[in-house]
Structure 1
Amino acid sequence: MSFHRSRTARTKAGALLASAAALLSAGLLHPAPATAATTPSGHAQAHATAAVLDLDGTGRTPVVHGEDRAYDTASIVKVDILAALLLQAQDAGRQLTARERERAEPMIRRSDNAAANALWRQIGGASGLAAANKRLGLTSTKGGPGAKWGLTRTTASDQIRLLRAVFDTGGTVRRGAGGLDAHSRAYLRTLMGQVVAEQRWGVSAAGATGSRQALKNGWLQRNTTGLWDVNSVGEITVRGHRHLVAVLTNGSASMGDGVALVERTARAAVA
């Protein structure tokens, strides 16, 4: 391994450790128990599903790789939370307030959990999310219980529906009905394009080098098993075409293993 590659690996590993430490300090990450669910070979039972839609192609149906099962969202639900907030603001005929932006922007760019807690309450929790998702065309997403937005359940194909609501052209929009208007879509796209450097792993690994990417990642260690949910959703550019990509995984033995699984799955799905 070259010095450059080893330095890059150390930098990435440090960023993952910092992300995990932040979750631990927030009380959302639990130390792994002494044992974890394993296969007979001793490896964690990790699963992955990917969905891909070429926005510049002729098809409108995503290609799904793997079983389109339900996974915990972890922090990718923050895109959905902000979409719900934007719809509520549209219905009220207003822009987001300064306070709402002060929460929305770190929630997406830095995956700030305190901001997500506040906005989850503001949109009405799972019921508010469900109302927004009905308008956005999601059919297989269920909000987490109580304050546990990270335990929202979703599928890869539903995440493509959400990404289309953000990155595709909007349909008919009117107060109390329809999807995100042009201003709301642009706001969400901008924030997803400004995710901090240490959180730019994931579906971005399948994009063209140097191309613009917009994404949101999520990671959560389950306290019942010690295994990790690691997810990534966003828009990347491949061979000159914009692609929406959603990769959902669970059962990884570590966050690093989960990130590697997400990136490997994204590359294979796009290829």
Structure 2
Amino acid sequence: MEPVTSSSAAGRKRLPAKVMASVAVPSGAKVSAAVLDLESGASAAYGEDTFDTASIVKVDILATLLLRAQDAGRRLTATERAYATKMIENSDNASATALWHAIGRAEGLDAANERFGLSATSGGDGDLWGLTRTTAADQLVLLQQVFGAQSLLSAASRTYVQGLMEGVEADQRWGVSAAAVGSSWALKNGWMPRSATGLWDVNSIGRVTVDGAGLLVAVLSKGTVSQAEGISLVEAAAKAAVAGFASAS
């Protein structure tokens, strides 16, 4: 993968291509990764491709729901909270569909994302929220709304989403967490086979702690022949991106 120059308050830099070159990308597959240091704001991304979100959009759906609730001066209802828990911790699709309708589907998601600062994300048609299109760099913008202090979401809303992302069920604790040093991480994964090709979209976004630093990491992939191959690719890319980011800092 070719490195993409990043810019931030900490200045501009180019991450070493040799770091991501160590990631074995299966023939026909693509992967993109992005990393941001929560303290300095420095960030960088590899690859500029657009990917289907699959279930990582569930974080965006919840962030949108919380923003709309804040605008209305209300808390989430008990039903909304139940759906949110199942949607994030268990990746329950029926709960995601219920909240997708609650936020106004793609129109509601896109409106919130414009406010959040996402510029390359568009909601899926109809009830196809998993076909929302996004980039790794845009997912960092979303993660900053969840984990950063400069956010449209209140501290209570951010803490709520973070807690759910820390509590994903055991069989979903893969992905960007592979780049963490220790057990401090919060994530949401997404995975789905494409009916037309049988190939998989496998994605992972979240926060990891490395040498005491909080890093936001997003890795998106498409075109692997199985979910397992996609998971291996995402985890290898997350590790390489974090290592390359650290070496360039």
Q: TM-score range by the shorter chain?
A: 0.7 to 0.9
Q: Is 1:161–2:134 an aligned residue pair?
A: no
SS state at 2:204 partner: strand
Contact map agreement 1:44 1:253 (CA 8 A) in 2: no
* Contact 1:170–1:182 (Cα < 8 Å) also in 2: no
Counterpart residue type for residue 50 of structure 1: A
Q: What do you get for the CA RMSD once the two structures are aligned? A: 0.9
- 1:181 maps to 154
Output the CA distance in 2 between the equivalents of 1:192 and 1:254: 24
Aligned equivalents of 1:170, 1:94: Cα separation in 2: 21
Map 1:14-53 → 2, pairs under 5 A: 44-53=27-36
Unaligned runs of 5+ in 2: 1-25, 244-249
How far the C-alpha of 1:170 sits from its partner, in A, is: 3.0
Amino acid of the structure 1 residue aligned with 2:108: G
Q: Which residue of 1 aligns with 2:15?
A: none
Q: Tell me which residue corresponds to 1:197.
A: 170
Deviations for 1:14-37, whole angstroms, at most 9, x for unmatched residues?
xxxxxxxxxxxxxxxxxxxxxxxx
* Secondary structure in 1 matching 2:203: strand
CA contact (8 A) 1:170 1:181 kept: no
The one-letter amino acid of 1:70's match is T
SS of match in other structure, 2:36: strand
The corresponding residue for 1:107 is 87
Letter in 2 for 1:229: D
Is the aligned partner of 1:120 residue 2:100?
yes
Deviations 1:195-244 (CA, angstroms, capped at 9, x unpaired): 111101000000002x3110000001000110000000000001110000
Query: 1:134-145 maps to which residues of 2 (within 5 A)?
Result: 134-145=114-125
**Whole-angstrom CA distance in 2 between matches of 1:265 and 1:207:** 13
Alignment-derived partner of residue 12 in structure 2: none
Q: 1:91 aligns with which of 50, 63, 71?
A: 71
8 Å contact kept, 1:55–1:242? yes
Specify which of 185, 198, 202 is matched with residue 230 of structure 1: 202
Q: What is the CA-CA distance between 1:90 and the residue it aligns to?
A: 0.4
> Which whole-Å CA distance do the structure 1 matches of 2:145 and 2:64 have between them?
11
For 2:8, the equivalent position in structure 1 comes to none
Number of the residue aligned with 1:81: 61
| Residues 51 and 246, structure 1, Cα contact 8 Å, conserved in 2 | yes
Shift of 1:253: 0.5
For the residue of structure 2 that corresponds to 1:242, the secondary structure is: strand
CA distance in 2, matches of 1:55, 1:81: 22
> CA separation in 1, counterparts of 2:164 and 2:27?
34
Partner of 1:133: 113
| CA distance in 2: counterparts of 1:258 and 1:195, whole angstroms | 19
Tell me the matched-pair count: 218
- Once residues 117 and 143 of structure 1 are traced to their aligned partners in structure 2, the CA distance between those partners, rounded to angstroms, is 13
1:112-142 Cα offsets, whole Å, 9 max, x none, are: 0000010001100000001110111111000
TM-score by length of 2: 0.86
**Alignment partner, residue 269 of structure 1:** 241
Partner Cα distance (2:73, 2:157) in 1: 12
Residue 144 of structure 1: CA displacement? 0.4
Partner Cα distance (1:77, 1:44) in 2: 26
Percent identical across equivalent pairs? 58
Q: State the partner residue of 1:40.
A: none
> What is aligned with 1:149?
129
> Which residue of 2 is the match for residue 206 of structure 1?
179
Which SS does the other structure have where 2:31 is aligned? Answer: strand
Aligned to 1:26: none
